[in-house]
């Protein structure tokens, strides 16, 4: 037997017992005639004790040879420690070792296996199996496992049936590029890896499965950022005979359940906000509502006073940075303006108004506006002495997005994003379609299977171009502290409406039939009304831990170039494999040429 207990388990009540433990050598302290070794496994650390006077001489010598990360099995007696520690859970006891077996040796690890590792990202990823021995990574993987278990518990208690859908499919357009897999048995044809199981879960509803879920890998070939991976996991769900309201209740229930059982936190009912309001007040469809600093539109009071920049703008809009007037020197404002003007944000300029503690008003547009004018702005924006207004202007969509960046930055600088606070929010009533000036066509705001609101169906079937821009959908996102953690919609379940949607999205009838004939066909055999949602599982795990990066919640993630540096993939394949897959003809051999 390798172990009677694990390394995190022994307490005072075990004193006197003989136990066997197995694990890795975390480190040792050698005091000459006495020696201590920390033995680690997934569950914790237990101190081993060797005493030259009482320990067998060979054993003592052998213990001295142990290096970091050696794998050993020990047997010994549990003793009460003379100097206890509460730094580890087994800090009251130690093991006086009487048998020691080296199960495997180890090279010196390339970085220290400690909570604060000295290993850089690349090294940690290359030796991910060593990284996983560290608490921060190990704990995140265990957290994820608990989340998956509890999700399954909650959903199966609610009659959801877990169904696996295929990975080798035909592409489903969800807005990203597909990963494709060449087919050996079908020359020149390709599977696509699913960006989500969207069409399959809808077909399960047509199949009468009624309530489906799956914790499932999805694949999107996108440029990567810290919160994106080419393969990621969703809690994917679909329900039949259901209204938007019931979906929101069910998945608000799931979210509350996970917070309660896993974090011990009670969340109160989730507020809801329309997409339009979120854009107007926060310039974003995923606002971080842990702090206010909401947008105030100033067109009515800031235009028509001779300041050309404002007068020519579609929108003049600002935020009130409370108590910041004294914090920003001219140079600081200049830096902030430069930050806003970087190409990533692209603002033209920044107007500020400072309401100084001494009652004076300072502004970058003091030449164009009197103090009385500026006081009116201040009143509208709830400014008091010490506050600083930050105002942008220009084209509505662009300015809102720029001011959203500025608001989030100010939230960071002012320490307003409390990591222990969780503010969920349902954003609802999304537009169905989004007009894209560049490609001169509509895009689906959520995806092409989303239904318009019931009251908009007639408009969608018969309306003109402008009407289409105003169509609303029963589509919703669940936002948590500014991260989108879930999204879904009520779906179209009628062939005519689905065909119309494809047409609006620029598909010819033939293209729609070729790509989605199977779905529209299914709609002709008694498709029930249905809808669903998918949670970004990796991101949910990260956000619940107050982290921005999902990477350590994934056991073997890819780097920013989409590479797995441990296995060194992706990699070339042999000419033979290429030939089999009809990807490249064989280069002529010497005898042939």
Strand runs labelled E in 89-224: 93-104, 161-162, 180-182, 190-192, 211-219
Complex with ligand ASP: residue 378 or 487, whichever CB lies closer: 487
Q: Name which of 200 and 257 has its Cβ closer to ligand ASP.
A: 200
User: To which residue do tokens 């921060």 refer?
Assistant: 136
Q: For residues 461 and 463, what is the distance between their CA atoms, to the nearest angstrom?
A: 6
Burial annotation 529-550 (CB, 10 A radius, 16+ → b, else e)? bbbbbbbbbbbbbbbbbebeeb
Query: Is 192 one of the binding residues for ligand ASP (CB under 6 A)?
Result: no
Stretch binding ligand ASP (CB under 6 A), from 85-93, 178-186, 421-429, 527-535: 527-535
Q: Are 48 and 13 in contact (CB under 8 A)?
A: no
What are the Cα distances from residue 90, in Å, to 7, 10, 82? 8, 6, 13
Nearer to ligand ASP, 424 or 488 (CB): 488
Q: Which lies closer to ligand ASP via its Cβ, residue 24 or residue 219? A: 219
Q: Which stretch binds ligand ASP (CB under 6 A): 154-162, 369-377, 492-500, 528-536?
A: 528-536
User: Which range, of 39-47, 182-190, 383-391, 531-539, touches ligand ASP by CB under 6 A?
Assistant: 531-539
Going from the C-alpha of 221 to that of each of 72, 192, 516, the distances in angstroms are: 44, 11, 21
Which position among 378, 394, 488, 557 is part of the footprint of ligand ASP (CB under 6 A)?
488
Query: Is 424 near ligand ASP (CB under 6 A)?
Result: no
- Contact by Cβ (8 Å): 316, 297: yes
Q: Is 534 in the site for ligand ASP (CB under 6 A)?
A: yes
Count of residues touching ligand ASP (by CB under 6 A): 10
- Check residue 532 for interaction with ligand ASP (CB under 6 A): yes
Instruction: Tell me if 487 contacts ligand ASP by CB under 6 A.
Output: yes
Q: How far is the CB of 532 from ligand ASP (least distance, A)?
A: 4
Interface with ligand ASP, residue 378, by CB under 6 A: no
Cβ proximity to ligand ASP: between 48 and 206 the closer is 206
**Cβ-count burial of 32 within 10 angstroms (0-12 exposed, 13-18 middle, 19+ buried)?**
exposed
When asked if residue 202 is in the footprint of ligand ASP (CB under 6 A), the reply is no
Residue 533 in the binding site for ligand ASP (CB under 6 A): yes
φ, ψ (nearest 5 deg) of residue 162: -85, 120
What 3-state class would DSSP assign to 510? helix
Smallest distance from ligand ASP to CB 430, Å: 11
Closer residue to ligand ASP in complex, CB, 198/324:
198
SS (H, E, C) 260-322: HHHHCCCCCCCCEEEHHHHHHHHCCCCCCCCCCCCCEECHHHHCCCCCHHHHCCCEEEEEEEC
In the numeric block, the tokens 């959908």 are attached to 473
Tokens of 143: 């957290």
Residue placing its CB nearer to ligand ASP in the complex, 354 or 447:
447
Judged by CB under 6 A, the stretch of 153-161, 244-252, 328-336, 482-490 that binds ligand ASP is 482-490
Residues that bind ligand ASP (CB under 6 A): 174, 196, 198, 447, 487-489, 532-534
């Amino acid at each position: 037997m390798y172990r009677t207990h694990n390394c995190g388990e022994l307490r005072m009540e075990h004193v006197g017992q003989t136990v066997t433990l197995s694990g890795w050598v975390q480190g040792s302290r050698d005091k000459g005639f006495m020696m201590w070794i920390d033995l680690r496994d997934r569950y914790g650390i237990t101190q081993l004790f060797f005493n030259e006077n009482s320990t067998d001489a060979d054993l003592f010598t052998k213990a001295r040879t142990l290096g970091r990360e050696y794998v050993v099995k020990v047997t010994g007696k549990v003793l009460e420690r003379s100097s206890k520690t509460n730094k580890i859970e087994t800090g009251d006891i130690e093991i006086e070792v009487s048998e020691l077996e080296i199960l495997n040796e180890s090279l010196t690890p390339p970085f220290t296996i400690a909570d604060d590792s000295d290993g850089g990202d690349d090294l940690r990823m290359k030796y991910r199996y060593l990284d996983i021995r560290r608490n921060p990574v190990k704990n995140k993987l265990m957290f994820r496992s608990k989340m998956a278990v509890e999700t399954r518990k909650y959903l199966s208690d609610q009659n959801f049936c877990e169904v696996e859908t295929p990975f080798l499919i035909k592409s489903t357009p969800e807005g990203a590029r597909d990963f494709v897999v060449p087919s050996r048995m079908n020359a020149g044809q390709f599977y696509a890896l699913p960006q989500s199981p969207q069409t399959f879960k809808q077909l399960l509803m047509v199949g009468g499965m009624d309530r489906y879920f799956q914790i499932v890998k999805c694949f999107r070939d996108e440029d990567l950022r810290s919160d994106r991976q080419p393969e990621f996991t969703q809690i994917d769900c679909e329900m039949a005979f259901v209204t938007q309201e019931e979906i929101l209740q069910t998945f608000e229930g799931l979210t509350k359940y996970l917070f309660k059982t896993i974090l011990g936190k009670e969340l109160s009912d989730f507020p809801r906000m329309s997409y339009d309001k979120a854009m107007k007040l926060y310039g974003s469809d995923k606002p971080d509502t842990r702090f206010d600093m909401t947008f105030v539109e100033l067109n009515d009071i800031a235009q028509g006073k001779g300041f050309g920049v404002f007068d020519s703008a579609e929108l003049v809009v600002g935020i009130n940075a409370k108590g910041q007037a004294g914090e920003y020197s001219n140079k600081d404002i200049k830096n902030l303006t430069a930050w806003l003007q970087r190409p990533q944000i692209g603002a033209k300029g920044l107007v500020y108004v400072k309401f100084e503690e001494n009652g004076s008003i300072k502004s970058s547009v003091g030449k164009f506006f009197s103090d009385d004018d500026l006081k009116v702005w201040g009143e509208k924006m709830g400014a008091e002495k010490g506050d600083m207004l930050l105002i942008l202007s220009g084209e509505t969509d662009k300015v809102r997005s720029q001011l959203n960046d500025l608001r989030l930055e100010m939230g960071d600088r002012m320490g307003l994003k409390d990591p222990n606070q969780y503010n969920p929010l349902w954003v609802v009533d999304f537009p169905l379609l989004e007009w894209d000036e560049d490609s001169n066509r509509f895009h689906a705001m959520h995806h092409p299977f989303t239904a318009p609101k019931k009251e908009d169906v007639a408009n969608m079937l018969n309306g003109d171009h402008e009407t289409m821009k105003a169509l609303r959908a029963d589509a919703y996102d669940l936002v948590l502290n500014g991260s989108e953690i879930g999204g879904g919609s009520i779906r179209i379940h009628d062939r005519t409406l689905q065909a119309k949607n494809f047409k609006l999205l620029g598909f010819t009838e033939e293209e729609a039939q070729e790509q989605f004939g199977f779905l529209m066909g299914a709609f002709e055999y008694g498709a029930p009304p249905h809808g669903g949602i998918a949670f970004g599982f990796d991101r949910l795990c990260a956000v619940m831990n107050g982290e921005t990066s999902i990477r350590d919640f994934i056991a073997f993630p890819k780097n920013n170039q989409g590479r797995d540096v441990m296995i060194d993939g992706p990699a070339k394949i042999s000419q033979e494999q290429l030939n089999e897959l009809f990807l490249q003809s064989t280069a002529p051999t010497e005898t042939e040429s």
